[in-house]
Structure formats: structure tokens, C-alpha cells
Chains A and B, each alone.
Chain A
Amino acid sequence: MTFQEIKNLLIEKFGTEVLIAEQNEGLQPALVINPEFINKVCFELRDNSNTYFDFLSNLSGIDYGIDKNKIGVVYHLSSIPYNTQLTLKVEKEFDRNSAILPSFPTVSDVWRTADWHEREAYDLLGIDFKGHPDLRRILLPDDWEGYPLRKDYKTAETYKGIKIDY
């Protein structure tokens, strides 16, 4: 299925509010999906026999910068039998200083790969994935403070009262 056909399929299935935007400028077009629908959309794309995106290549959390104040997740889907690729995005505005983390629905029940990738995004960017079975830090120690890949992250000067020399 081509990119346009997939887009039409999703609109037909879930209505027009499923799609927020379409990015065609780059080499790889992407669909920006309404965050509320992402889990259902992923299930549909995986199970529909015409799309069959059975393989999640990559899942990356992105902080789009201090001026935009947006945070998002990018999904790279790949279909082994059809040899097609698709990029999905979800994004939302968020308050950097709030203790409540920006939240997206998990897709770890669609592809188990997403389990560790979402943990990584939580660990490094502070994205909460609703419905994730085991959302713990994965690369950093459990007592780490802050989310290093956020664009406003300041490196810590002390660790438990010990000064860190850089």
C-alpha cells in the first residue's frame, strides 16, 4: 500500500480527527497522528492484511526544542512481507517545569519491541507511556535526577553531595 492509501485507510477507519498533519517535505513522508488514537492505529496497521506492519524498527522520543516547547514520539514501522516502511509521529505541547510528565499511550502491547524503547524514552526524555507494564529507568541508574535528552537539561554539579569535576 502506498503512503496515500494508508492515509486514506486510517481516515476511513477512524475518521478525520485521527490525522493531525502530513509531512511530505523530506525523503521519508510521515503521518502525524492524534495521540489518543496511536495505539488503535498501530493495532490496525499491524493486523490489517493490506498493510501488515509487523516489525517496529525504531521508536524515538524527541524534544523539539525550548522555543517550540513540544515533545513527541516517532515510530518507524516496517513490513517484512510487503517490504514497506512507514513513519508515524505523535507530539504535544508540554510544560517543562511541571512534575507531571507528558503522556502518550503505549504501543508495547502491539509490538513488544516498544517495551524497552519506551523505557528508554521515559528514561532519557521523561515521557510517560500510559499502560506500559514496566516503566522503569533502563540506561541510567534508578536514582538519576532529570531527563538528559531534554533540551533544557543542565548537567548536575554534585552527586549525593559529592562535587563532580568535569
Chain B
Amino acid sequence: MNRANERYKERISNLKTEEMVLNMGPQHPSTHGVLRLELITDGEIVVDVIPHIGYLHRCFEKHCESLSYPQIIPYTDRMDYMASMNNNHAFVMGVEHMLGIDNDIPKRVEYIRVLVCELNRIASHLIAIGTYGIDIGAFTPFLWCFRDREYIMNMLEWASGARMLYNYIWVGGLFYDLPVGFEERCTEFVEYFRPKMVELNELLTNNRIFIDRTANVGVLPLDVAINYGCSGPVLRGSGIKYDLRRVDNYSVYPEIDFEIPCGTGQMGKVGDCWDRYKVRVDEVEQSLRIIEQCLERLKKELKRGPDFDPRAKLPRKCTPKAQDFYVRAENPKGELGFYFIADGRTEIPFRVKSRGPSFNNLSVLPEISRGVMIADIVAILGSIDIVLGEVDR
């Protein structure tokens, strides 16, 4: 009997824990695309995460070596395909600066650009919010978000002809003016959508289960966020009011009144998943305010006239002087940058390098997910809100 007991105890005490490699993705729904996370796990605890990217690499920068500037715009659509308008806007701003026509753009064109960009920002944040809910296990908000996003998609399709990949903002102008009646329908949308956000907050933001899953999880301290080059809601979630729309004051944003939401640690620590999520919810609110102000001006002093031509300032030849230029703009996901080198002889850029916000935001994932549970990896990844089209380019 004693001998048996000893044998049993020996067996139990000599058990060893072993690290196991677990592949999450590239076809895992919670990785929001074709991202593969190699998890090194000790039981249910994540010891380390190694992200593997590149499954969606489409050689954006190589393509740019043989396309002229206006031809690249559709390619930028496909980077962050949740917010194509914002990509177009950033790219076009860069080219306009290099051509030196950035001050000649008509006010109406600029306001339309900001209007469609903010609409697209709401659409992008709705996806982020909705899919975040589904990552955590709340199915209904996902359907509600997609229902409201569809409204925006329809409007942007009406303006540009395409549902997601618009190619609407052109160097020096726009593809077309807004269709007649767009402003009115947009106002209707804002009126319809405001109460929906209240509903969504009741359902998800202040939901006890949701808060328990996200508060105090994946805390990203501010210094780490800055050192890893995080930007957008991920950086602001860590408690800094840093928004390039205000910092750089590009386009007509200086004329528009809006707030910059940032993480406050309302439910837990500053910089946790809930804070990042909340920044997006608040930004939707601010985007609605921006849209209202744009509509106000577009309906009054910048009304459409018979002689208004959104293509009037389109450059005949898109050949910037030989120089290099870095442009940055605030996308829904963060700082989108393009670095151009123009040779001054052709319409084709010598080199275009793009700095995707998701690429940098994703790189912080291993840092903040060591020692968490596997289920929390999903919560952290969802709160970073990456889009693989932009990570891989």
C-alpha cells in the first residue's frame, strides 16, 4: 500500500509542463483576415506570440514603380479596404503638395473630401466595433453595425459608383460632384444613426460581460505605444490626445469643430482594450459632428452651381519636380504615410513607400500579450483593429 502511494506521488511530482506551439490562423475568423499567430503556450497561458504576415502581399510598392500617380490611386483603395476614401485622400494630398497645387483646390471639393472621408471613417469604426463584439461573443451588435454600415456603403456607391473601392478623390479634384440630393440623404442618415449609437452603447459598450472581458486586458502603456509607433485609436486609447487632423491641420479640418476622444481608464486601467474600443465609439460621434458641419456648408455658401467642375483643377500632366516628400494623414486606423521620391522627368514615381498604421499597430501585439490567456489574445487583437490589406500591402 505504502509502496503504491510512493509510486503514485513520484509519478505526479515528476510531471513536467511543456510549452506547446499553437497556430492561430491564417484562416481563423478572429484574426480578421489572413494573419497567422504562432502562439507559444503553457497550458492556457500564452508565453509568447509570433505574428506571421505577408499572406496578402500584393507588391504595392513594386506596382508603383511602373504606374503614374493617378493610376496608383485605385491601388491605395485596396490597402485599407475598410476606409478607401481616407487612403485616396492621403495619397492625393501628397501628390498635390509635390505639384504645388495644394492651395488651389476649391473649397467645395475639400469639404466633399472631408465629408466622404468621415462617412468612411464611421463605416470603418462600425466594422471595428461590430467584429469586436463578435470576437468577444456578442453576435447582435455585429448585425446592427453592418446594417448601418450598409447605409453608408449605399451612399458612397451613389457618389462614386463603387461600393467599397471608390477611386473617388483624384489629384486636383474629384471623380464627380456629389449626386443631387446627396446632402439631404446624408442629413437623414445622421438623424437616423444618432439614436442607433445610443442603442449600441446600451447593448455593448456598457454591457457587464463585455466590460469584464475587455477592461484591464491588454494594457498598453503610453511610452510603449509611442515607441512601437502605434497611432490612431490605439495610441489615443493609451491616453494622449494626438490626432493628425488637429496636429497637421490638413485639408479643411482647422475650420471644423470637433473633439479628440482619448482613453481615460473609465472601466479599468488606461490603455486597456475597453479604452481603445471606447475611443472608436466616441470618434463615431465626433465624425457625425464633422459631417453635420460639412453638410451645413455644402448646402449654404458652397452650394453646387452650374459652373462648378470638380475636375477643373486636375493637372494636365502629373509630373512633380524632382524631390522626396513624406505625407501623413489620420486614417481610421492611425497614421497613414506615403513617402514619395519623384525624379522630375516622368509621371511615374521613382519610389513610393507606404506606412500603414495597422502594420505598426500589429507589431505591438507580442509586447502586450505575454502572459495572458489564449481567449484574451482574441480580445487584444480585436481591440487593435488591424486590416490585413494594409499590413501586407
Interface string of A34-58 (1 = CB under 8 A from B): 0000000000000000000011111
Q: Which of A11-19, A95-103, A108-116 contacts B (4 or more CB under 8 A)?
A: A108-116
CB-CB under 8 A for A112 and B339, given A27-B323, A139-B53, A148-B59: no
The residues of B that contact A137 with a CB separation of less than 8 Å are: 54
B240 CB-CB contact with A under 8 Å: yes
Identify the closest chain B residue to A151 (Cβ): B65
CB-CB under 8 A for A76 and B339, given A113-B360, A124-B61, A148-B59: yes
B91 CB-CB contact with A under 8 Å: no
Tell which of B57, B226, B323, B326 touches A139, judged by Cβ atoms closer than 8 Å.
B57
Identify the closest chain B residue to A140 (Cβ): B54
Identify the closest chain A residue to B56 (Cβ): A139
The residues of A that contact B337 with a CB separation of less than 8 Å are: 57-58, 76
The residues of A that contact B229 with a CB separation of less than 8 Å are: 55-57, 111-113
The residues of B that contact A32 with a CB separation of less than 8 Å are: none
Q: A87 touching B326 by the CB < 8 A rule?
A: yes
B351 CB-CB contact with A under 8 Å: yes
The residues of B that contact A80 with a CB separation of less than 8 Å are: 226, 240, 242
B97 CB-CB contact with A under 8 Å: yes
Interface string of B47-67 (1 = CB under 8 A from A): 000000110010101100100
Q: A60 touching B339 by the CB < 8 A rule?
A: yes
Measured between alpha carbons, how far is A152 from B64 in the docked complex, in Å? 16
A149 CB-CB contact with B under 8 Å: yes
Tell which of A26, A30, A85, A149 touches B62, judged by Cβ atoms closer than 8 Å.
A149
Q: B324 touching A26 by the CB < 8 A rule?
A: yes
Interface string of B347-385 (1 = CB under 8 A from A): 000110101000110011001000000000000000000
Q: A141 touching B54 by the CB < 8 A rule?
A: yes
Nearest chain B CB to A134 CB, angstrom units = 9
Nearest chain B CB to A25 CB, angstrom units = 6
A6 CB-CB contact with B under 8 Å: no
A62 CB-CB contact with B under 8 Å: yes
The residues of B that contact A116 with a CB separation of less than 8 Å are: 359-360, 363
Measured between alpha carbons, how far is A61 from B353 in the docked complex, in Å? 9
Q: A140 touching B57 by the CB < 8 A rule?
A: yes
A74 CB-CB contact with B under 8 Å: yes
Number of B interface residues, CB 8 Å? 37
Q: B339 touching A58 by the CB < 8 A rule?
A: yes
Tell which of A60, A115, A139, A140 touches B353, judged by Cβ atoms closer than 8 Å.
A60
Nearest chain A CB to B270 CB, angstrom units = 16
Q: A62 touching B61 by the CB < 8 A rule?
A: no
Q: A57 touching B324 by the CB < 8 A rule?
A: no
Nearest chain A CB to B246 CB, angstrom units = 10
The residues of B that contact A85 with a CB separation of less than 8 Å are: 326
Identify the closest chain B residue to A63 (Cβ): B351
Q: A74 touching B339 by the CB < 8 A rule?
A: yes
Tell which of B62, B324, B339, B341 touches A148, judged by Cβ atoms closer than 8 Å.
B62
Identify the closest chain A residue to B339 (Cβ): A60
Measured between alpha carbons, how far is A113 from B358 in the docked complex, in Å? 12
B252 CB-CB contact with A under 8 Å: no
B209 CB-CB contact with A under 8 Å: no
The residues of A that contact B323 with a CB separation of less than 8 Å are: 25-27
Identify the closest chain B residue to A144 (Cβ): B54
Measured between alpha carbons, how far is A123 from B98 in the docked complex, in Å? 29
Identify the closest chain B residue to A25 (Cβ): B323
A83 CB-CB contact with B under 8 Å: yes
CB-CB under 8 A for A62 and B335, given A27-B325, A28-B324: no
The residues of A that contact B393 with a CB separation of less than 8 Å are: 139
CB-CB under 8 A for A113 and B57, given A62-B351, A149-B62: no
The residues of B that contact A135 with a CB separation of less than 8 Å are: none
Besides A111-B227, A139-B392, 17 other A-B contacts (C-beta < 8 A): A26-B325, A55-B226, A57-B229, A57-B328, A57-B337, A57-B355, A58-B337, A60-B339, A62-B353, A74-B324, A80-B242, A83-B247, A112-B364, A113-B228, A113-B360, A116-B360, A139-B393
- For this complex, 13 residue pairs linking A to B, each with C-beta atoms less than 8 Å apart, are A54-B226, A57-B229, A57-B337, A58-B353, A60-B351, A62-B353, A76-B337, A112-B229, A112-B364, A113-B363, A116-B360, A139-B392, A149-B62
